Amino acid sequence: MTADREVSRLGTLLPVALISSAVLGYEILLARLFAIVQWHHFAYMVISIALLGFGASGALLCLVGKAFARRFDTAFRVNAALFSLTSVVSFVLAQWLEFNPLELAWSLGQTGKLLLIYLALMVPFLFAANTIGLALMVYASAAGRVYAWDLTGAGAGAAGIVGALFYLSPENALLLPALLGAAAASMIGFKRPLAGLGIPVAIVSLIIALGVLFEQPVRLRISQFKALEQALQVAGSKLIVERDSPLARLSVVENRIIPLRHAPGLSLLTTSQIPHQAALYVDGDGPAAISQFDGSLDSVSFVTQVTSALPYQFSPAPAVLVVGLNGGAEVLQALHYGASEIDVVELNAQLVEILREDYREFSGAILEREDVRLYIEEARGYAERASARYDLVQVGLGGSLVASGSGLKALSASHLYTVEGVRALFELLKPGGVLSFTSWERIPPRDSIKLFATVISVLEASGLSEPGRQLAWIRSFNTSTLVVKNGAISLSEASTMRAFANARGFDTVYYPGMRAVEANRFNQLGEAYFHDAAKALLSDERDNFIQRYKFDIRPASDDRPYFSNFFRLAHVAEILALKDRGGMGLLDLGYLVVWATLFQALLLSALLIVLPLVVFFRGDEREKRDRRATAAALAYFLSVGFGFIFIEITLIEKFLLFLNHPLYAVAVVLAGILVFAGLGSRFVERAAGRPAKWRILLPVLAIVLIGGAYLELLPRLSGTLVMLSDELSISSALLLAAPLAFFMGMPFPVAIEALSRKDAALIPWAWGANGCASVVGAVLAVLIASSHGGSMVIAIGLALYLVAGAFGSIAFNEVD
Amino acid sequence: MNHAMKSAASAVLVAVLLPFGHQVLSQEQPYAIERSRMVEDILAIWSITEREIGGRPPDEKVLAVMGKVPRHEFVPPSKIKNAYANRPLPIGHGQTISQPYIVALMTVLAGIDESSRVLELGTGSGYQAAVLAELVGEVFTIEIIAPLAESASKRLARLGYDNVTVRHGDGYYGWKERAPFDAVLVTAAASHIPQPLVDQLVVGGKMVIPVGSGFAVQQLVLVEKLGIDRVRVRQILPVRFVPLTGER
């Protein structure tokens, strides 16, 4: 170990930052790529496990680290170059395996392919982690600076890749991490600026030349079971538009021979024709339809024959807010019903561009009309800030399409469908106005029942003792529309609504004064599940009903914003046993995948942490090692790893609430947290000379104090912060994150530096354990947040820092 | 000892049968056993889920046909080993061959007899059409993916299903020239139930639509045409599952 080696900015720290930047960018990019070729939740699982490459690196460095450290520059260069190479090759290999997650429950072969994908993708992370781990080993006495550049590089990588994805397709952007890796490989060991820059310039030029030569160096092999691929198989299909952004890949397909006819839940009794439509896919999932509109309202009369037309029975010529542009279906509906003004709030600017540019003529330029105003922002933020009041707030299927991107429903936080979010939407209503939600329905019912429970909570919290008087709910065989009126529903309104439903063969699920015999008439289920649920939720039996329901239908809250999580672990065995009996549809795969990920990550992490122990406690090494201090050091690094990731993830999730453009803002805030943590890490060296015990305890106490204050403050501040402009809200998030992140950057490098003086051989082990804790912690944070809320995750994170403080004082008690 | 005797007896049996056995028989024999196992599986599930599917008893004719149609002919060569497992299988082009239990259930729900004319939308590999062809007079089937339509057409002809007509094209408007139908089976996903298909049903006819993906059917929708302008829709969970704990 060469702890006294001089740390060079250009030749050591910059390459570390470049690799960190590459690896975080690569991670974000993989998530994007797998969301396109597969589905989001599998992307999550694959990447989580692949990140255990960091844990594997710890184990590897324990075994061969000393040999690597003796020839640090070469070892770093080789590992960085291998990262550069394998970042592309591993993805190509993973694609080539043609893994089909949908068959996972049916076929053992798919499990094998999944394992191979894990292995393939773990490789680049392993090489990248080797470089940083090695740098920490060799420059342990300057661990603060190394870690600072590592974190800062990671921050720049996160922000950089999101920016790059505006200009590059994800498959082309795959060259960027490779490029950074190559640059790091070239620069390691340089002493003077410009000296020997020839090699990096040559490598970088070569990669760029390759990128230019092969316009699309990596071709995506998208799962044949994704809706877009299936549509493209149909004779006559043409891919007309494809637009990428960091949010999603949008694709539009047209077919003049076998056209799309998309009208979810269309009445079986209608004679309305569906106009020509173009199919819109988000990350290959969908479709949503862009309907051809020549200005003749008769040509789109089908919009009156779907459940989402219900709210228009309550108010003639309303002022409407459409939440989620979808393909423009809800705007057409508003036009058809003669809305006096139409505001649309949509997060995805690319979607708006498609309707305004590529499909301007086709869609009848609906977004150019004077009575249509567009707001490109997050719906929740708009609801909190808007001063306008509406007769109708329409959350259509597009609300969920855009909010969830594609399929990642169980995992994705949505602040729109929480009790607080629904309240914000409800408060946009004029007296007598209606808030309407249309959702896809599944059997047994889940989504709409949870929404019904949420709405009841909102109305009761507003002091209404009889929420049922303001609710109306209908359904078709696959969609359901729930209407909440700002005021009591009158007898005549109930009668109009009944007539609307009867004429279209829709079932009334609930309205004030509805009789049980009216339920379950047109679309008959074995039992009147929907109506029975509505009655139970409006009665004193509510808590008992929610408790006994086999899906999680507790209303979501801002602290637990996972509306689409219906998974209850207690019933998973029953559902899995029904697989062969046609019960696969009961499984909410998204959430099961999180549990599967946790299980796998725990298993692998345990292996990766225990394996090096075998080396440490064999033969002559056994005698000289203090087992108690070693165990305390392990507990310390695990606690710090878990604590950091728990707080980081949850803090960002909490900030989502008041950031208007979540993805971009998250990139900036994540980068900010990492950079501030880097600053904290850098500061550590300045405090050198004081006992390690105190250099650990003081930041830990600061973290607990600041974090504890945030637990109290954040919920109160959110209401104010959400009203701020984009720039101010991002700045506030950064300001809020700064002090906590600053101190969170300290405990890891302090302990690494202390280890270097006490038991340097343990450094790679600590590095690996920290990596494993980050992976398991990220998964665990989601699971705890979905069941107990984000505040609980932060509280546990803070407690873990306290635990770390206690173990740190045991492990590093004697280190000065 | 007992085991050794059994093995010896089997060896003798094989030695005696082999020289006389027809090649097709020897190829078909293991599939026949697998098929009968598959039928047993379906029967077992049926008894458990009978209540959910409206108290319908298992239809002996349908089960007999499922025990006869060579499902292994309808799956890609790489999937033959799983052809008779009670699971869906990919058949290429992003399509699947349905789980045998779901095929049996859809066939029973269609309420057909030997005189029925049936329209199927989504031919796939042609397995459902073959099962129907064994039970009814005529089957008309439409597939929107050209290579699938072509291969299914050839396969069905090769296997002697001459009462099946395959067409490549758009199924939304049904098959007007061949209408009306006693039953319509839609095996492709749809955002809504196409009205033209209801029009082409005879009064008393039934339409069955699975909702969900090929690998995970959420529900089966049964549309019954009660009169010229009267329909009844039933949503059937293909599995016994009560959403509240403690209820049976």
Q: Kindly state the DSSP code that residue A265 receives in the 8-state scheme.
A: T
Does A443 touch chain B if contact means CB atoms closer than 8 Å? yes
Residue A623 — very low, low, confident or very high, per pLDDT cuts 50/70/90? low
Q: Which chain A residues are closer than 8 Å to B146 by Cβ?
A: 235
Which residues have CB under 8 Å from A651's CB, separation 6+?
Answer: A673, A710, A737, A740, A794
Helix (H) or strand (E) holding A94: helix A72-96
CB A87 within 8 A of CB A174: yes
Contact A265 B191 (CB under 8 A): yes
Contact B102 A582 (CB under 8 A): yes
Contact A266 B233 (CB under 8 A): no
Task: Kindly tell me if the per-residue pLDDT of A400 is higher than 70.
Answer: no
Does A107 touch chain B if contact means CB atoms closer than 8 Å? yes
Give the separation between CA B226 and CA B223, rounded to whole angstroms: 9
Q: What is the pLDDT of residue A581?
A: 72
Burial of A97 (0-12, 13-18, 19+ CB in 10 A): middle
> Closest Cα of chain B to A93: distance in Å?
21
Residue of chain B whose alpha carbon sits nearest to that of A225: B94
Give the separation between CA A330 and CA A343, rounded to whole angstroms: 11
Percent composition of chain A: helix, strand, coil (DSSP 3-state, to 5): 60, 10, 25
Beta-sheet pairing, A471-475 with A319-323: unpaired
Residue A64 — very low, low, confident or very high, per pLDDT cuts 50/70/90? confident
Nearest by CB to B192, from A103, A265, A442: name it. A265
> Closest Cα of chain B to A724: distance in Å?
40
Contact B239 A581 (CB under 8 A): yes
Sign of CA dihedral A16, A21, A26, A28: positive
Contact A230 B239 (CB under 8 A): no
Nearest by CB to B235, from A262, A477, A548: name it. A477
Q: Which chain A residues are closer than 8 Å to B214 by Cβ?
A: 102, 225
Domains of chain A, each with CATH number or no CATH? 1-221 (1.20.1250), 314-405+411-565 (3.40.50.150), 588-816 (1.20.1250)
**Closest alpha carbon to A50 in A106, A140, A128:** A128
Residue A347 — very low, low, confident or very high, per pLDDT cuts 50/70/90? confident
Residue A335 — very low, low, confident or very high, per pLDDT cuts 50/70/90? very high
Q: What is the pLDDT of residues A225-267, one digit of tens each?
A: 999 999 999 989 999 999 998 888 999 999 999 999 999 989 9
Contact A263 B192 (CB under 8 A): yes
Residue A152 — very low, low, confident or very high, per pLDDT cuts 50/70/90? very high
Contact A106 B102 (CB under 8 A): no
Q: Which chain B residues are closer than 8 Å to A526 by Cβ?
A: 51-52, 54, 236-237
Give the separation between CA A321 and CA A391, rounded to whole angstroms: 8
Which residues have CB under 8 Å from B244's CB, separation 6+?
Answer: A545, A548, A549, A550
Q: What is the pLDDT of residues A729-770, one digit of tens each?
A: 888 889 999 999 999 999 999 999 888 888 888 898 898 999
Nearest by CB to A578, from B99, B146, B239: name it. B239
Q: Which chain A residues are closer than 8 Å to B144 by Cβ?
A: 234-235, 258
Q: What is the pLDDT of residue A403?
A: 33
Q: What is the pLDDT of residue B15?
A: 40
Structure tokens at A815: 């280190």
> Closest Cα of chain A to B113: distance in Å?
25
Give the separation between CA A203 and CA A356, rounded to whole angstroms: 42
Q: Kindly state the DSSP code that residue A759 receives in the 8-state scheme.
A: -
- Give the angle subtended at the CA of A782 by the CAs of A152 and A424, to the nearest 5°: 95
Q: Kindly state the DSSP code that residue A357 receives in the 8-state scheme.
A: I
Interface of A with B in 229-268 (CB under 8 A): 229-230, 233-235, 257-259, 261-266, 268
Nearest by CB to A268, from B45, B198, B219: name it. B198
Q: Which chain B residues are closer than 8 Å to A260 by Cβ?
A: none
List the single best residue of A258, A261, A479, A581 to mutate versus B (max B Cβ within 10 A): A581
- Highest mean pLDDT, choosing among A570-579, A683-692, A792-801: A792-801
What's the whole-number average pLDDT of chain A? 88
Give the separation between CA A730 and CA A669, rounded to whole angstroms: 7
Q: What is the CA radius of gyration of chain A?
A: 28
Give the separation between CA B178 and CA A517, rounded to whole angstroms: 40
Give the separation between CA B99 and CA B87, rounded to whole angstroms: 4
Which residues have CB under 8 Å from B232's CB, separation 6+?
Answer: A522, A524, B223, B224, B226
Q: Which chain B residues are closer than 8 Å to A549 by Cβ?
A: 243-245
Give the separation between CA B49 and CA A586, rounded to whole angstroms: 15
- Angle subtended by helix axes A627-656 and A662-686, to nearest 10: 140
Nearest by CB to B217, from A107, A522, A582: name it. A582
Q: What is the pLDDT of residue A313?
A: 95
CB A441 within 8 A of CB A448: yes
Give the separation between CA A573 and CA A587, rounded to whole angstroms: 10
Give the separation between CA A29 and CA A176, rounded to whole angstroms: 10
Contact A523 B233 (CB under 8 A): yes
Interface of A with B in 195-224 (CB under 8 A): 224
Give CATH for domain B2-236: 3.40.50.150
Task: Kindly tell me if the per-residue pLDDT of A637 is higher than 60.
Answer: yes
Does A578 touch chain B if contact means CB atoms closer than 8 Å? yes
Give the separation between CA A73 and CA A54, rounded to whole angstroms: 20
Task: Kindly tell me if the per-residue pLDDT of A715 is higher than 90.
Answer: no
Task: Kindly tell me if the per-residue pLDDT of A214 is higher than 90.
Answer: no
Asked, as a colleague might, if the bond just before B180 is cis with ω within 30 of 0, I would say: yes
Residue A149 — very low, low, confident or very high, per pLDDT cuts 50/70/90? very high
Q: Which chain A residues are closer than 8 Å to B51 by Cβ?
A: 526
Residue A333 — very low, low, confident or very high, per pLDDT cuts 50/70/90? very high
Structure tokens at A804: 């770390």
Q: Which chain A residues are closer than 8 Å to B54 by Cβ?
A: 526
What is the full DSSP assignment across A661-717? SHHHHHHHHHHHHHHHHHHHHHHHHHTBTB-HHHHHHHHHHHHHHHHHHHHHHHHHH
* Most distant CA pair in chain A, distance: 89
CB B56 within 8 A of CB B24: no
Does A440 touch chain B if contact means CB atoms closer than 8 Å? no
Mean predicted confidence (pLDDT) in A155-180: 91
Residue of chain A whose alpha carbon sits nearest to that of B217: A585
Does A709 touch chain B if contact means CB atoms closer than 8 Å? no
Q: What is the pLDDT of residue B4?
A: 45
Residue of chain B whose alpha carbon sits nearest to that of A571: B245
Q: Which chain B residues are closer than 8 Å to A585 by Cβ?
A: 212, 216-219, 238
Torsion of the alpha carbons at B78, B81, B83 and B87, rounded to the nearest 10: -100
- Percent of chain A exceeding pLDDT 70 equals 92
Beta-sheet pairing, A479-485 with A523-524: unpaired
Query: Tokens 């992003």 sit at which residue?
Result: B94
A184 alpha-carbon distance from chain centroid: 29
Contact B191 A234 (CB under 8 A): no
Residue of chain A whose alpha carbon sits nearest to that of B55: A526
Amino acid in position B217? V
Residue ranges of chain B whose pLDDT lies below 70: 1-29, 51-53, 246-248
Q: Which chain B residues are closer than 8 Å to A444 by Cβ?
A: 237, 241, 243
Quote the strand ranges of chain B, DSSP E. Answer: 89-92, 95-97, 117-121, 138-143, 164-168, 181-186, 201-213, 216-227, 230-236
Does A363 touch chain B if contact means CB atoms closer than 8 Å? no
Mean predicted confidence (pLDDT) in A376-381: 89
* A297-311, A521-535, A543-557, A602-616: segment of lowest average pLDDT: A602-616
Active site residues of B: 98
The ipTM (two decimal places) reads 0.86
CB A314 within 8 A of CB A434: yes
CB A249 within 8 A of CB A226: no
Give the separation between CA A507 and CA A520, rounded to whole angstroms: 6
Task: Kindly tell me if the per-residue pLDDT of A425 is higher than 60.
Answer: yes
**Closest alpha carbon to A760 in A232, A315, A137, A242:** A137
Nearest by CB to A268, from B214, B233, B242: name it. B233
Nearest by CB to A268, from B193, B211, B243: name it. B193
Contact A523 B235 (CB under 8 A): yes
